[in-house]
Chain A
Amino acid sequence: MISASSILSKRMLNSSLLKILAPAALALSLMIVGAPAAKADVLVLTGATVHPVTSDPLKNATVVIDDGRITAVGTDLEWADDAEVVELDGLHLYPGFVHPATQLGLTEISSVAGTVDTSEMGSINAALRAEVAINHDSYLLPTSIAGGVLSAHVMPNGGLIQGTSAVVNLDGWSWEEMVIRSPVGMHIEFPAAAVDDENNDDLKTIENILALARHHQQAMQAAADGDAPAPARNHQLEALAPLLNGEQALYLRANRYDVMEKALDWAADQGFEKVVLMANPDVQYLADRLANDGIPVILRNVYAMPTRRWEAYDMAFVAPARLAEAGVRFAIADSGSGMDIANARNLPFHAGSAAAHGLDKADALKSVTLWPAEILGVGEQLGSIEVGKRASLFAATGDALEPMSRIERVWIDGKEYDLSRDHGRSLYPRYRDRNAEVQAR
C-alpha cells in the first residue's frame, strides 16, 4: 500500500519542479505519472485542410508526427520513405478540443448512485484529487472523443473547499496514464449568501480553514527548523499549502455577478494571485474588471437561461463576445455537471453559437482549444497544431464548430483512436444492418 506521505511528496516534487524549470519539469512530471505509450514510427497526415488555430487554415497541408508529438506543419513538407502516410482527402484537421471544466470520468449513469463520484459530502475536501476516481473505461469517454473532445480539465465538486483538479487525456489504460497535469488548481465555491452577510458561516468556515492551514504550515516549518515538535499530520490542511504558497491556482466558483465580485474581492484580500474565475454568463458584467485585473475566466455554459427573467433573450449567447471585447482571457465550457457531463461532445457548439452572437469565429475556435489549454497551464502541450505539441488531433468533414460536420478520424498523442469504441458508432452499423435485413424479408 502506498502511504499518503509518499503521494504527497511526489506531488510536492512535481509542483516545485514545475516552478523552477517549467519545460524540463514537464518531461519529468510525465515520467513520474507514467508517460503515454509512445509511437516510434513517423506518422504523416497529408492532404488535409489544417487548422493550426494560431494561424490561418492551410489548404492541402501536412502534419508530421514523431513519437506522439508534432514535428512539422506545412504545405511543402518532405518525409522519410518509411513513414506511415495517411491521405486525408481534404478533411479538416483540428487540434482536439480541450474541455475547460467537466466531471467526465467521474460518473456513468447519473441516476445510478453507485456509478456517480461527482460530488463529495462535507464542507472541506481540500485533500480530494478528482483524477483518482476517473474510470478510464467509462463509456462516456469514447463518446466524448468521437465528438473531438480529446482532453479535459476534470474537477471535483461538493462542499466549499472542493479539492484539486487535473487535465487529462480522455484516452488511456489508467487514470495515472491519462493525467497530463495535476494538480491544476484548488477549487473553492464562494458562498452566495456571503454577499449580503458579513458574518456568513460558510465563508467563515473557509477562512478558518485557510488560517489553520497557514498555522499548520508555520508549525511544520518550525518543526523542520528544529524549533518545535512536529504537529500532527493533517491532509486537508497540508493540501492547501501549494495554494497558500502561491504555487497553485485558485479556481474560484461563483454563479452570479454580485457573488463573483465579492469572491474576487475576497480572493484579493486573502492574497491569492493566481485566480481563475469559473462562472456562468453573468460574468460578462464584470468584464472590464477582469480584463484590468488579468483574471482568466472559464465560462460555464453558453446554452443557459438568462440569469434574470427580465434579461435579454440572448444574454447568455453574447457573454463570450462581451468578454472578448473587453479583453478578458477566457475559455468556453458547458455547465460541467448534470446532463452536460455525458454531452461534453457538444462543447464546440457552445463556441459556435457564441460566434453567431458576436464572437469572432477564429476566437470561438480558440475558446475551446488554445485558450483553455493556456489557462489550465498546458498551453505548451495542447490546443493548437504546432511543432512540439502533442499530436492530439481530429479530422472532420467541415468546420469543427458546425453540428452538421462529422468527425471521421482521431489521433491521441499520435496514435489513431478506434472510433468504433464509441457506443453510438458501434450500435449504429449493427442496427442499420439488422433493420435492413428485417425490412428485406
Chain B
Amino acid sequence: MIKQITAASLAAALALASGTSHAQWTPDIEAWNSPQPEQADAVVFRNATVWTADDTGILENADVLVRDGAIDAIGDSLRAPRGALEIDASGMHITPGIIDAHSHAAILGGVNESSRISTADVRIRDVIDPDSINIYRQLAGGVTTINLLHGSANAIGGQMSVIKLRWGDEPDALVIDSAPPGIKFALGENPKQSNWSNDDPRYPRTRQGVAQVIREKFQRAADYQEAIDSAPSGRAARENVPPRPNHEIAAIAEVLSGERDIHSHAYRADEMLALMELAEDFGITIGTFQHVLEGYKIAPRMAEHGVGGSTFIDWYAFKYEARDAIAFNPALMHEAGVLTGIHSDNPELARRMNLEAAKAVRYGQVDEHEALKMVTINPAKQLGIDDRTGSLAVDKDADLVVWNGHPLSVYSRVEQTWVDGSRYFDREADQRMREALAAERAELMALILAEDEASGGEESEEAPAEEDSAPGFRSFASHLTSGMPQPTHLHGFAAHLLGYRPSELSHDDFCLFHFE
C-alpha cells in the first residue's frame, strides 16, 4: 500500500504535515512499524487499586508482581526480583484485561458465509487479521481477548476463534489454543431472512423452521457419528464402505459430544426456549446466548439450563425482535443466577467496554465489582478460558489494564494494557511515537523538496500551492486507498472513513443490517 505512493504525492502530504496544524493526522502507528513488545522477566506494579474480578475483591494500595508473563503475586509491598521493571501505579487502578465475547473486529473478508443454512464447516481461524488497526485501538481501550465469531446469517454458522490481542504477531500466535472449540448459531430474524428481499428465498422463513432445521442437523450429526463409531474396523472394514467424511456434519457431531460449545445469536424468549429444549433433547447444554435481549424474561429457565448470557447493555429498537431489549437485562439475568457478560459486536464500541459495564450499575444497581466482572471473568468463563485469564490471580496470564482512575468512570482513561506480561499499549509511548513519526515525516519532506528543487521542480504540477494544502492531502489519501478493494457493505456510518482495509470495517451485516 505504501509503495503505491508516488514521490510527488508523498511530498504533497509531507508539505501538509510540516508547519501546519495537521501533523497530528498522520501518526501511522501500525502493526508493521510497531515492534512486538518484549516480555519482561519481571514487572511489579506499585500502589494501585487492584480490581481482582474474583473473591479477593478490590485491594487498595496493592502491588502486582508479574514474572514470565504470569501473575506471580498480589499484595502489600511485594519483594520484586532484582532487575524487575518497577511501575509506579499510585493513584491508578488495575483491572484484568477486558474480554469481548462477541467480536468481528479482526476477520479478513466476509464475516458471513451466508449461502447455506448451516455452514458449520467454515473456520474463523483461517481468516484472522492480526494487523487490524482495530486490535490496537481496542488495546487502547483495555481489551486483551476477543471472541471472533462468524455472522448471524445462518442457523448454524461457522467455528469461532478466541484470540489474544497480540497485535502484529502471526495469526496462529493470537489464537488461545486451550479455549474450548465453539460454534456460532443464530436464531430469529437474521437466519429467517426477514429484513431484506431475496430473489431466491431460502428455507426456513419462520422461527419454528429455524428450530426444525437445527433439530434435523442434530439428528443427522448423531446418525453420522453412530455410523462412524459402528463402522467395522480391521478385516471387516474391507467389506464395507466407510461413512463419507462430512466436515459440516462432523463439526455438529462435536457439538453433540460436548466437545464444541454453542454460542447462539438470539433475541427473543421463545426462540431461546426452543433451542434450550432442543439441546436438552440431545443431552447437551448451550454455552451462551449472544445478545440474549429477552434473557431477562426467562432468566430462571436459563439458569436451570446452565446457559450463559452475553448481551448488549443498551441497544434496542433496531429490529422488531429488539423491541423489548432493556438495559436492565444484565442486572436481571445476574440476579437470577445466569453467568452474565456484556459484549460489543462493534469495533468502535469495543474501545469503551468499561463504560458499558458501568451501565449495569446504572440500570439495576449491579455492584461495581460485579459489573466489571461482566466484561472480564464472566466472559472468560463463558469462553472456557477462565483458567488463564479474566481475573487477577496468581498463576494466571498477566493480561491487565492500568487506568488513570476508577475503571468504570467516564472520566478515566487507559494508560497501559498488558497481554501475557508484555506491554502492548502505553499511552505515553503512543504520544512519543506520534511525535517521532511527525519528525521523521518532516525530515523526509525536506529531503524530497530539496531533491525536487535540484531537479528543477519538474513535478511542480502535482505539488501543492503553498496555501492550498487540502488538495495535497487528498491526493495522498486517494493514493493510499486507490487500488484497494473497498468494502462492499459500507453503511452510512462508515461512508466517510478513509484508508481502512475492508476487514477493519467488516461486521455482521445481518445483525447490523439497519445501521445507518
Q: Report A's interface with B, CB cutoff 8 A.
A: 108-112, 139-140, 143, 192, 195-196, 255-258, 261, 280, 282, 285, 288, 303-315, 335, 337-339, 342-343, 345-346, 349, 352-353, 355-357, 361, 401-406, 423-424, 427-428, 431-432, 435, 438-439
Contact = CB atoms under 8 A, between A and B. Distances in A.
B136 interface: yes
Nearest to B301: A438
Nearest to B495: A255
Interface in B469-516: 470, 473-474, 477, 480, 491-501, 504, 513-516
Given A313-B136, A356-B411, 9 more contacts: A109-B317, A112-B319, A261-B470, A309-B499, A355-B411, A401-B411, A406-B365, A431-B332, A432-B335
A338 B493 contact: yes
A435 B492 contact: no
6 cross-chain pairs, A with B, having the tightest CB-CB distances, nearest first: A352-B410, A338-B516, A424-B326, A309-B499, A403-B358, A342-B317
A338 B320 contact: no
Contact of B411 (A307, A335, A361): A361
Contacts, number: 186
Interface stretch (B23-31, B223-231, B242-250, B384-392): B23-31
Given A310-B30, A314-B140, A258 B296 contact: no
Contact of A195 (B359, B413, B474): B474
B409 interface: yes
Contacts of A303: 348-349, 352
Given A339-B515, A428-B364, A309 B318 contact: no
B99 interface: no
B289 to A, nearest CB: 16
A312 B25 CA distance: 7
Contacts of A257: 470
Interface string B336-359: 110000000001110110010011
B75 interface: no
Contact of B328 (A140, A314, A339, A424): A424
Interface in B1-44: 21-22, 24-30
Contacts of B24: 311-312, 315
A338 B470 contact: no
A114 B359 CA distance: 31
Given A309-B504, A343-B314, A435 B496 contact: no
A404 B27 contact: no
Contacts of A355: 410-411
B282 interface: no
A405 B365 CA distance: 9
Contacts of B351: 313
B396 interface: no
A403 B359 CA distance: 5
B412 interface: yes
A435 B336 CA distance: 7
B133 interface: yes
A258 B30 CA distance: 25
Contacts of A288: 21
A306 B137 CA distance: 10
Contacts of A196: 474
Nearest to A143: B316
B21 A338 contact: no
B361 A404 contact: yes
B203 interface: no
A139 B358 CA distance: 24
Nearest to A256: B496
Contacts of B331: 428
B332 A311 contact: no
B514 A110 contact: yes
Nearest to B25: A311
A338 B492 contact: yes
19 contacts: A110-B318, A256-B496, A308-B499, A309-B498, A310-B25, A310-B30, A312-B27, A337-B492, A338-B515, A339-B318, A346-B314, A356-B412, A357-B413, A406-B365, A427-B328, A428-B326, A428-B328, A435-B296, A439-B300
A304 B195 CA distance: 26
A12 B514 CA distance: 38
A265 B297 CA distance: 55
B470 A428 contact: no
B318 A109 contact: yes
Given A111-B320, A192-B496, A403-B359, A353 B25 contact: no
Contacts of A439: 300, 303, 336-337
B474 A258 contact: yes
Contact of B347 (A305, A314, A315, A339): A305
A188 B316 CA distance: 30
Nearest to A112: B320
A406 to B, nearest CB: 5
B25 A308 contact: yes
A335 B493 contact: yes
Given A196-B474, A431-B332, A313 B317 contact: no
B516 A337 contact: yes
A80 B474 CA distance: 66
Given A109-B319, A112-B320, A196-B474, A305 B411 contact: no
B30 A342 contact: no
B323 A109 contact: yes
A337 B137 CA distance: 24
A313 B358 CA distance: 22
B26 A309 contact: no
B355 A349 contact: yes
A24 to B, nearest CB: 41
Contacts of A108: 317
B16 to A, nearest CB: 11
Nearest to B431: A312
Given A111-B195, A303-B349, A305-B348, A402 B410 contact: yes
Contact of A356 (B327, B349, B410, B496): B410
A258 B513 contact: no
Contact of B494 (A305, A308, A403, A404): A305
Nearest to A314: B140
B317 A431 contact: no
A431 B296 contact: yes
A195 to B, nearest CB: 7
Contact of B434 (A280, A312, A335, A338): A312
B430 interface: yes
Nearest to A157: B516
B408 interface: yes
A406 B362 contact: yes
A435 B410 contact: no
Contacts of A109: 317-320, 322-323
Contacts of A311: 24-27
A345 B316 CA distance: 12
Nearest to B427: A314
A113 B8 CA distance: 49
A428 B303 CA distance: 18
